[in-house]
Structures are given as C-alpha cells and as structure tokens.
Amino acid sequence: MGIQTLRIAVSGAAILSALWPGLALAEDGVEFFNGKTVNYIVATAPGGVYDTNGRLVAQYMQKYLPGSTFVVQNMPGAGHLLGTNYIYASEPDGLTFGTFNTGLLYGQLSGDQNIKFDLTKMSWIGKVASDPRIILVTKESGIESYEQLKALKEPIKFATAGKGSASMIEATMFVNALKLPIQVVSGYNGNEDQLAMMRGEVQGVIGSRSEFQQFVDEGKGRFIAQVGGTETDVPQLSSMVDDVTAKQVVALIESQSGISRLSAGPAGIPEDRLKALRDAYKAATSDPEFIEKARALGLPVDPAVGDEVGTRVNKALDQAPEVINVLKEALSEG
C-alpha cells in the first residue's frame, strides 16, 4: 500500500469513527474480549437454580463474544454476600462479573455492615427472568391453604438459605409482618431445602416458583400462596392480607420477583466493554437454543438488559421507613 493510499485509509477510518462513534465503540469493546478469559462468578454452591442459570448464561455469552473463554467460578457463603463482595471489588475491566441473590437488595436497604458493595453503582448487564415468590408446604404437613397455615396453633419449620439470602429474609419478614406460625431454619443452600423437606426435617419454604415447580409437579408439595407473576392457579398473597405494613412488605417482595437471576459487574467497567457485554447478554438470552434449554431445565425466561435492570433495582431500594424496620428486624433475627 502506498503512502497516499495509507493516508486515505487512515482518514477514512477517522471519518467513520467521527460519523458513527457508537459503531466504532461497540467494535472496540467486542474486540477487547477476543483471546481473553472471562470469570463468571456464581455466588452460591454448585447445583440449584442459580448455578444452572449462571452456567447457561456464561455458555451463550461466550458464543456471542468471539474468541472469549468464560470460566464459571462458584463462590458460596453468607447468603451470596461473599461472591457479590468479590465481584464488586474486582478490577472493572469487564473480565469479572456474575450472578447473585436478589436478597442482597434487602441487606443494602437495612444497612448490613458486611456489605462492601453499592447496588446502585454496579455495572448492570441484565437479568434473565421474572420469577414469582411462593409459599410451599409439603404434602406430609397436611396443610392445603394459606388460611389453614395461618390458623395453626403450633409453628412448623421452614427451610431457608444462609443469612442475607432472599429466602431467609422474606420468610422472616412474612413471619413477623403476617404473624405466621413458622419457625425459620437457615443454612439450607442449593437444593438442600428440598432434601430436608423429603426427610421431614422441615415442612415448607418460601422461594422462587421455578425452583420448586418440579417438586410440586412430582406430588411432594403444594403452593398455597404466590407473590407476583401472572399465573392464576395459586392465590396471590396480596389478596389475603389486610394490614398496611404487611401489604407494603408483600409489595417489596413482589418487586424482587421481576428482577430474578441478575448479572452484574463492578462499578466503572469502560463503556465500550460494558456495551459489548450487554449486547452479548441480549443475544444470548434471546437465542432460540438458550430459550429451549432453559425451558427444558424449568428456568423461566423474561430477560431485560442494562439500565432497565438498574432502574428496577433503584426502585426496589426506595422503601418507606416502616418497611425498612421490618427488614432490620428480620435480619437481626436471622
């Protein structure tokens, strides 16, 4: 190539960059990941819905970031707190991000001193699902309705994950705000809660519907109330609650159901790399193969990307003082 031709090529590239800066930025971001290893952190132990969902996301994001290699790293502990603290403290180069429990929103709302992150500042990549919460009881419990549960004279045991997890916080908030006869037992991570129910150690859980749908389909338990979602086969808890504060607590928990299976990185990921990650996430979660595999695994798919997720998170973090007091009480008991 002659000097004059080279000058023309360089000038043409400069003009294109000036005219279409977004295009140039996206290309630069995608190219950065070529030949790089991306660490996708799953803030829970192997097995269970979070791990399965995270591995599926990582697999298909790798597909849409040519030349990249995604490595899934499980980092369980403290109700997803350890893994999320790690994500937030990571170098904001776009090579470390991951998924964690929405219960961490509750921890930030209540001012948990062990939280070393700020969800309002994280680099939001996307969320896979909307997943309503349910109250589930085992068939052996003999309970067939929410009203029957509430009328029990002696408390029954409900399994939850570790302190700070959504299941522990929501169960404790329900017990306190709705005056339910439930003893909350924490420490059941992954699918340990289902095993505990089958062993008869506990009689119920409060969690995501998708996580326990198969358990119910197999005849091992029944849903007696639901929070959020559009399904009509289970009564909405909000229709069975009269107390004002209890209604606010149910509304808070419902806000979580719309932002299930989050993916986010530390604050400050460069704009071009974050855009590349978001584009890959959008392509991954709309890939027909991804959707087919997710449905086969019983995972709901209702994706959102980027700032839309951040807006929902910020809205969930805007709560009345009385609701925050219920949260703090739940965390102190947990």
Residue whose tokens read 């000036």: 18
> What DSSP line would sit under 81-103, residue for residue?
HHHHHHHHHS-SSSSEEEE--TT
The pLDDT score that the predictor gives to residue 14 is 44
Quick count: other Cβ atoms within 10 Å of Cβ 298?
15
Q: What is the mean pLDDT of residues 233-259?
A: 89
Q: Is the CATH code 3.20.10.10 the one for domain 3-130+259-321?
A: no
Q: What is the mean pLDDT of the chain?
A: 88
SS3 70: strand
**Token code pair at residue 203:** 């009689």
> What is the per-residue pLDDT across 266-306, written as a single tens digit (0 to 9) for each?
999 999 999 999 999 999 999 999 999 999 988 889 899 99
Q: Is the CB of residue 280 less than 8 Å from the CB of residue 186? A: no
Numbered ranges of CATH 3.40.190.10 in the chain: 133-256+323-333
Q: How confident is the model at residue 27 (pLDDT cuts 50, 70, 90)?
A: low
Numbered ranges of CATH 3.40.190.150 in the chain: 3-130+259-321
Helices (H), 179-259: 192-199, 209-217, 244-257
Q: How many CA atoms lie within 13 A of 180 on its CB side?
A: 28
Residue 228 predicted with pLDDT over 70: yes
- The lowest-confidence range among 86-100, 104-118, 215-229 is 104-118
- Tell the CATH topology of 133-256+323-333: D-Maltodextrin-Binding Protein; domain 2 (3.40.190)
Q: Tell me if the pTM is above 0.75.
A: no
SS3 78: coil
At 23, give phi and psi (nearest 5°). Answer: -65, -45
If one compares 26 and 287, the residue with the highest pLDDT of the two is 287
Whole-angstrom distance, CA of residue 334 vs CA of residue 330: 6
